[in-house]
Amino acid sequence: CHSTPNRTTDISTLSLITQQTRTTPQGNTNRIQKHSIMASGRATGGQLEERIDLSEETTSQISEAFGLVQTSKSNLPSALSLLASIEKRARVGNDTPSLVKICEATLQLCKDCNDDESLLTSIKNLTTRRSQKTMAISACVNKCIPWVIDMSDGSKGYVPLQVVNEEQKVIREKLVVALRDITEGKMFLEAERARLTRALAMIKEQDGDVSGAAEILQGVHAETYGSLSKREKVEFILEQMRLTLAKNDYVRAAIVGNKINRKALLEEGMEDYKIRFFTLMIQYHSHEKDSFELAKDYHSIYLTSTVQQNEDQWKEALQYTVLFLSLSPYSMEQQDLLHRINTDSNIDKLKTCKETIKLFLTKEIIAYPLPHQDELEGLNAFSMGGQESNQHWKDIFRKRVIQHNIRVASIYYQRIRGTRLAQLLGLSGKELEKEISSMVSNGEVYAKIDRPSDIVRFKQEKGAEAVLSDWASDIKTLLNLLDTTSHLIQKEKMTQ
């Protein structure tokens, strides 16, 4: 009901505008058409928007600005004002090359005059202007980065410049923070933001603020940055791991470590990163006291091509691998790794390790302590965490020997008296019962202890139905063999 009046009003308004356009003088009409072209950015000469060439004027204005500063550094505000006017015209006129030159010249003027406050103000103003070009923002950031980060040949691209006094140190940190704020949320400056973040983290760490450095790095998810190479991503994540471990945040260190693809570390040229990664994982697993993961970490280092070329390094890695495999709980994966190392030709060069593997792979009772146990306990990895850790691994080693002996006894005995088994293993009755109960709870062996009779049974007694089923299965297998044999005999007779 109300649509008709509104439509009538719109038509009337349109007619009035058309009439006004027709009655407008010719000069005004031309100005209106020219303004509409500027606003819409109509394509001219294959361009998507109108561009104004200010290159000659830009060159003269920049020369004039530098001339003012050379005359007196107090003329810096006048020089910046001169460049600000041409900057706006270049930005509105879409003359990006001239705009980039103006931005770089503005920052260079502030740097030449050693006016750090004007430098910070200028870079913030230039990068936050309305409709500022991405190339101009990128040029401003890349212009300032060499003033806070060592970009000389051979540098890593994220080491902060050395300073000689506290004032320079404060200015350096302020400029790094300002540049990080500018690059935040800009995909075309992801690589620069990552480098600035590492530089700021190094500054914090040099000041003794390890927690602050770790928190700064945690805010950057380098694994999602497409502008970073694979090596840069891995190096950034390794730095995150190192700092989180330095502040004893082991939970976050494990989360960060899972961001690294293990297959990427196996590629050629990634050997140094592989060693660094597993060295950090050794630090984490040592805190968790996970002996099998420690064995895998050392074995991964041992398999690295650069380590294989250094005899001292591969011997140390292989020794620690065997040591922590001996301390690992029994599992199929642990046994598989033991067998693989046993077939390695290098293990023959380490007599102690060779004998240790042989003892744990042979189905025989091991006498504790081992003949070469002092040599094993003398390794540096055994006492890596101090006296408490050293005692822990000694207790674990004795426990693994006892568990091995109980598994061997369960193979050769269906039932045995507890006193006799304790005598064979060199244990007291209570300690034997405790270890058997622990292994049964973990599903490692089947055992039942008859305390009144002092009998330990390692074989599960079968019921009548189970015995009958096994007998029926055996008879079926036997009959199948007879049928097969009879068929082969008949086939032989037919061929004669």
* pLDDT tens for each residue of 33-64: 333 333 334 444 555 567 889 999 999 999 99
Other C-beta atoms closer than 10 Å to the C-beta of 298 total 25
Residue 415, H or E segment: strand 415-417
Express each pLDDT in 350-361 by its tens digit.
999 999 999 999
Average pLDDT of span 87-104: 93
Residue 9, H or E segment: helix 3-23
Of 105, 108, 111, 103, whose CA–CA distance to 136 is shortest? Answer: 103
In this predicted structure, the answer to whether residue 495 has a pLDDT above a threshold of 50 is: yes
Nearest-angstrom CA–CA distance, 441 and 214:
41
Nearest-angstrom CA–CA distance, 270 and 256:
18
- Residue whose structure tokens are 């509104």: 6
453, 424 contact by CB (below 8 A) = no
Q: How far is CA 72 from CA 77, 79, 127, in A?
A: 11, 11, 27
Q: How far is CA 218 from CA 67, 180, 249, 262, in A?
A: 46, 14, 12, 21
Express each pLDDT in 227-255 by its tens digit.
888 999 999 999 999 999 999 999 999 99
Residue 33: its pLDDT value, please?
39
Cα 211 from chain centroid (whole Å): 18
Cα 75 from chain centroid (whole Å): 50
Whole-prediction pTM value?
0.79
Residue 150: its pLDDT value, please?
87
pLDDT band at 412 (very low <50, low <70, confident <90, very high): very high
In this predicted structure, the answer to whether residue 22 has a pLDDT above a threshold of 90 is: no
Of 427, 440, 436, whose CA–CA distance to 455 is shortest? Answer: 436
Describe the strand order of the beta sheet including 455-457 as a list of residue ranges.
Answer: 415-417, 455-457, 448-450
For residue 417, list its beta bridge partners: 455
Of 145, 80, 146, whose CA–CA distance to 118 is shortest? Answer: 80
In this predicted structure, the answer to whether residue 274 has a pLDDT above a threshold of 80 is: yes
Residue 130: its pLDDT value, please?
87
Cα 17 from chain centroid (whole Å): 64
What is the token pair recorded at 348? Answer: 């023959």
Average pLDDT of span 311-328: 95
In this predicted structure, the answer to whether residue 2 has a pLDDT above a threshold of 70 is: no
Kind of pairing, strands 415-417 and 455-457?
Answer: antiparallel
Residue 155: its pLDDT value, please?
64
